[in-house]
Chain A
Amino acid sequence: MSDIAMILDRIGRKLVIEVSPHLDGHYAGGHATMAGLLSVMAGEAFDGYVDRLLHEIADMRTLLIDGDIDPGDTRARSMKISDLLPVHSHLSEELIKLQAAIETRDDDASKKLNARIWQFFVEGAEARMPSPPDFADARAKTVAAIQAKEE
């Protein structure tokens, strides 16, 4: 079985809904809940992570070229995340320099490019935002079941 996103999601739900209620009141209960939330978030992010990096790399290249900055050779050695991240970081550093430079200029072209950079930030931040997992109902049912059993 290689459906990693599904495995992470299911393990996370198991931890939050079924394991952590048995640890209520114990320090480890907090760890179990947090680990579960993170696992579900990782499952969600897993599927789209490479796609997001590739889109952001392409968008940053375009912004830099439009700002008369040569982005250099930004081909990654592979599509592995560990190979894409250094490329992404390099372009991010160049984009920071470009934006700091155009912020000091008052011409329309610079202002328009700055607006596009901000729009890129908005879209990137939206894409990176994990969905906040909510297990309140399912967890509450398990807690109630445990309490009923103990009584």
Chain B
Amino acid sequence: MSPAEGAHRPGHDARTEGVRRGAAFAVTVDGKEVTGHEGETVLGVLWAAGIRTLHVTARTRQPRGFFCGMGVCFDCLVNVDGRHGVRACMELARPGMVIRRQQDAGSFPPRGGGSHA
């Protein structure tokens, strides 16, 4: 099915127009440069850039975005500057952050892949 017209497009900025933001800076997401602004969370920076798959699940390899947006569900976990399992919704983005998307839910220790059954 094709995405709805005018709806989500990767690379399309989802920031509200007409809102003044803090200083712009660059972060990298899986090695690719993405723009963030002072005051934005890691989730905000990723979502604004059209990056909706924040991790891929361990057991069934399904894409996950964020769900609760308030630190409850642990669905939005990403690797930030080498720290595994950081809640993107609770972490402020900072200049130069190295963000990597995880191939699992940030279990401790990280699962190598495949089934845990």
Chain B binds chain A: no
